[in-house]
Amino acid sequence: MRARPGIVVAVLCVASLLDAPWVRTAEQALAPVLLVTDTLVADLMPVGDTVASDDAVPVVAALAWEAWLDAVAVRPAVLESGRKPCVVPVAERLVGRQELILYVPDVELLQDSPVTHRGALIGFLRPWSASDARVVVDGRARVALLGHPRARPVAATWGDESLQFLVASRDEAPTVVLRSRRVQPLPGQLAYSRDASQLGDNLPAGLAIGRVSRSESDLPGGALAVHTRDEPSLDVLLDPAELSHVTVEAPHDARLSLPQVEGRLLRSAQGDHRWQLDRGLLHGVGRGDGVVQQSRWVGRVEWAGPLTSIVSREAPPGPLIVADPSGNLIPVGASVGTWPADWRPQAGLPVFWGNASTGGLLVGRLGLVDQDRLTIDLSGFDPVRPVSVLVR
Amino acid sequence: VILAVLAAAVLSAQALVLGRALLGSMAPDPMVVLATALALAWPARRLLLAAVFLGWVRALVLVEPAGGQVLCAWAALFSVAAFRSSLRRGGRRGFLFAGVLLAAVWWLTALAVSWAAGVHVSAGRELLLGLLLAVPCAGLLMRISRPEGGAR
């Protein structure tokens, strides 16, 4: 039976309006036709977005990023010999499977080595699969988060070494097992890794593992009773779904080089909000990739077609680094819940972001707070010069 | 002819991009002139193809889902085509009135689609401003837009 063209077009229109990915991607197939005339039009364009060359921007952005890296990578100094803490980006968050996928091209990593963030233990590097014992496959490594069956047990303490125990994965949660004494830990206590090097375990001491989680219930009279379950579990300190970077132990000479694609942004009729990028899926560009120009953040790929993409001028994902007037660097998220206590945004403060391959980038300046979310006035960029796409 | 129409759509879309860069929201959209001429000239069976070309190219430069603009173009072209014979009798004024009708239907369809789908579909004053480009040569455009193959 032959479908009527009108019905086919109507169905495709509805699919396009419903954001069907294959239709939206196919729509971009016609964009290269526009590119032919784009080059002619580009010469006639006013250069309104050109930014003055500011030599200070790369330096300040690099300082902000490096200071943030130092804070993220903070951890006890005991490392495997010949290795250094290295901050790497999170490529994928498989929270349901209690795993993270890290992007670590050309970096040699060791199985069961710890993965941390700001001094907290997140998990351990695991073999890629049951049939493949390699840790890094195609530039990616797999992390078994605490609570994952593949996460190895950790020798731990409450901090004063008076009570020692193991933290093992039970029922998808890190759980206290093999306590040295029958003392009940109080709810809310923090557990840290302890030095077990005499037993051949080289995990550094002092890594925060989690907080004791104990169910409590009201008793008559208003008192609280602590359930005396034998194996209290630990609440992990960091939400893996929020992590954009973590720290791994890498060889001293490791250099993280993330692939980038050079391209050019072409103005759309939407003005400054959305731009056409003359690179697409066939060049390796994908949805969500960041677009930068020298030391400035430009935007994110909203849709990628075969040969062209749409770039939306929006802030980067993950924590932003705000430099306050006294020179402090404060990592903040977009929503109010992620801000440090007592911190109030001041309009006009510079905002930075970073990437393992580009280093620090200037994102823009803080705008007003709108509905408990930060607004950021993005830094300008020069549409005449090429941009780089940070391919994930 | 089809390739020529596609090329004309691309050029008019680029003119809108350039116009937006120079004049901001006061930039005219020359595509409305092309669409009016096609609605008056092309047989009804080809108007769907014209709607796809015009809507798709316009959506690309507006960076929107193409579905919304194609639906707008489709409704606008068929609305003008429905009154083609009486509009043609009006000569120069008929062409301009056809343009106003096309712009109005495009705008109303965009409103309806935006409301129904929850997706922004751009259509506004640039369509009417685009029609101003046709004022000096509306009579000539009407003569050029004679029906192909006796289409009614």
> What's the rounded Cα separation, in Å, for the pair A208 and B116?
51
Q: Which of B11, B17, B57 lies at the smallest CB-CB distance from A30? A: B57
pLDDT, one tens digit for every residue, chain A (392 residues): 456 888 899 999 999 898 888 888 888 888 887 776 776 666 666 655 445 555 566 777 777 777 777 776 665 555 556 677 888 888 888 878 888 998 887 778 888 888 888 888 888 888 888 888 888 888 889 998 888 887 888 888 875 666 777 777 777 777 777 666 666 667 778 888 887 777 777 788 888 888 877 655 544 554 554 555 557 778 888 888 878 788 888 887 777 777 788 888 887 777 778 888 888 888 889 888 899 888 888 999 988 888 888 899 988 877 788 877 777 777 777 677 667 777 777 788 888 888 777 778 888 888 877 666 778 888 888 877 889 998 87
pLDDT tens profile B28-43: 999 999 999 999 888 8
pLDDT tens profile B55-89: 999 998 888 889 999 999 999 999 999 988 888 88
Give ∠ CA A383-A384-A385 in degrees, rounded to 5.
95
- How much is the pLDDT for A49? 47
* Chain B environment of A3 (Cβ under 8 Å): none
Interface of A with B (CB under 8 A): 5-6, 9-10, 12-19, 23-24, 27-28, 30-31, 33-34, 36-38, 40-41, 44-46, 48, 267-271, 274-276, 310
Give ∠ CA B90-B95-B98 in degrees, rounded to 5.
100
Rounded average pLDDT over B109-120: 91
- Do residues A249 and A80 lie in contact, with contact meaning Cβ atoms separated by under 8 Å? yes
d(CA B9, nearest CA chain A) in Å: 10
- Do residues A390 and A292 lie in contact, with contact meaning Cβ atoms separated by under 8 Å? yes
Dihedral angle of Cα A13, A15, A18, A23, to the nearest 10 degrees: -100
- Do residues A75 and A85 lie in contact, with contact meaning Cβ atoms separated by under 8 Å? yes
In the numeric block, the tokens 């077990």 are attached to A196
From the number of C-beta atoms within 10 Å of its C-beta (0-12, 13-18, 19+), residue A10 rates as middle
Dihedral angle of Cα A55, A61, A62, A66, to the nearest 10 degrees: 160
Are B17 and A9 in contact (CB < 8 Å)?
no
How many beta-carbon pairs under 8 angstroms link A with B? 93
DSSP bridge partners of A233: A175, A213
pLDDT tens profile A107-163: 788 888 888 888 888 888 888 888 888 888 888 899 988 888 878 888 888 756 667
pTM for the structure as a whole: 0.68
Q: How high is the ipTM of this complex?
A: 0.85
* Chain A environment of B62 (Cβ under 8 Å): 268-270
d(CA A23, nearest CA chain B) in Å: 9
Are A15 and B67 in contact (CB < 8 Å)?
yes
DSSP bridge partners of B88: none
Residue in A23, A34, A44, A267 to test binding to B, most B beta-carbons within 10 Å: A34
* Chain B environment of A14 (Cβ under 8 Å): 67
pLDDT tier at B150 (50, 70, 90 boundaries)? very low
CA distances from A106 to A90, A114, A198, A255 (A): 15, 19, 33, 8
Dihedral angle of Cα B7, B9, B13, B18, to the nearest 10 degrees: 50
From the number of C-beta atoms within 10 Å of its C-beta (0-12, 13-18, 19+), residue A151 rates as buried
